[in-house]
């Protein structure tokens, strides 16, 4: 009888030493390293789901704090105009991950308050602000005046490194042939890598076996992706 997999969760490694620098994210890293000499009070970091935006935001946060800055993270869905001063607290710099979910009036107020303090706002989203349907003219002008830098889809080398990191985050050991097999068959995106690693972890636990090419073949066959 197959064992029921218990999803106990896992903690992704978000330290600077765990960030995978590659051509696809080099421009974003370079922009964040220019802080605090940004040409505007805000900077937009965008990319597909799972591209590493949140990880890079945490690396940026560590850089700010190491420099003596007061940085905060705010949940954009919890933003309200009246609560912005309390939510910002004494922070001068801020990361807003998933910024497109923020109410426009509250985001404008937040942007203005950060600018008044001489700080900076890192806006993290899946699309650049130029592709947002922004109703408030003042907010639109502020966001479009700021630089926007994207994280591109991964090449083979980065995708292999991402897969290895995702397996390592789950304390799974895999061989090079498993990585090579997956690269040739999965969706070429960070989200695709995250999905297959999660499914392989679940299958390996349920069947009490290691992650191997035969297991990968079986899991991919379930979604019709194996060839």
Which sequence spans correspond to the domains of the chain?
25-151, 156-222
Tell me the CATH number of domain 156-222, given options 3.40.50, 3.90.660, 1.20.1050, 1.10.8.
Answer: 1.10.8
Residue with tokens 């940004």: 38
Closest to 118 (Cα-Cα) out of 93, 96, 101: 93
**Do 156-222 and 25-151 fall under one CATH topology?**
no
Inter-helix orientation angle 156-169/176-183, to 10°: 120
- CB atoms under 10 Å from CB of 224, counted, come to 7
Whether a cis peptide bond, with omega within 30° of 0, leads into 139 is: no
Residue 180, Cβ density class (10 Å: 0-12 exposed, 13-18 middle, ≥19 buried): middle
Which superfamily does CATH assign the domain made up of 25-151 to?
Answer: P-loop containing nucleotide triphosphate hydrolases (3.40.50.300)
Spatial distance between the Cα atoms of 94 and 74, rounded to a whole number of angstroms: 8
Which pLDDT belongs to residue 87?
Answer: 92
Tell me the residue ranges of DSSP E strands in 83-190.
93-97, 120-125, 148-151
Residue 175 φ then ψ, to 5° = -95, 170
Residues 6+ apart with CB under 8 A from 66: none
Q: What is the pLDDT along the chain (227 residues), one digit of tens a residue?
A: 233 333 334 435 455 555 667 788 889 989 999 999 999 999 999 998 877 888 889 889 988 999 999 999 999 999 999 999 999 999 999 999 999 999 999 999 999 999 999 999 999 999 999 999 999 999 999 999 999 999 987 788 888 988 998 999 999 999 999 999 999 999 877 778 889 999 999 999 999 999 999 999 999 998 766 55
pTM flag (> 0.75): no
Residues 57 and 97: beta-carbon distance below 8 Å: yes
């Amino acid at each position: 009888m197959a064992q029921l997999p218990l999803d106990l969760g896992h903690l992704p490694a978000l330290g600077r030493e765990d960030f995978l620098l590659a051509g696809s994210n080099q421009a974003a890293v370079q922009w964040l390293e220019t802080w605090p000499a940004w040409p505007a009070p805000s900077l937009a970091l965008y990319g597909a789901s799972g591209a590493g935006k949140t990880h890079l935001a945490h690396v940026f946060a560590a850089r700010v704090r190491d420099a003596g800055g007061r940085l905060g993270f705010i949940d954009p869905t919890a933003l309200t105009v009246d609560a912005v001063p309390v939510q910002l607290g004494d922070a001068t710099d801020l990361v807003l991950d998933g910024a497109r979910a923020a109410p426009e009036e509250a985001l404008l107020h937040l942007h203005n308050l950060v600018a008044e303090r001489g700080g900076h706002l890192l806006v993290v989203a899946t699309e650049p602000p130029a592709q947002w349907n922004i109703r408030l003219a003042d907010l639109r002008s502020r966001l479009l005046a700021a630089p926007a830098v994207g994280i591109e889809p991964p090449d083979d080398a980065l995708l292999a490194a991402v897969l290895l990191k995702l397996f390592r985050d789950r304390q799974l050991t895999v061989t090079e042939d498993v990585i090579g097999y997956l690269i040739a068959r999965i969706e070429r995106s960070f989200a695709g890598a995250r999905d297959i690693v999660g499914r392989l972890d679940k299958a390996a636990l349920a069947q009490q076996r290691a992650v191997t090419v035969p297991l990968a073949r079986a899991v991919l066959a379930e979604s019709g992706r194996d060839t």
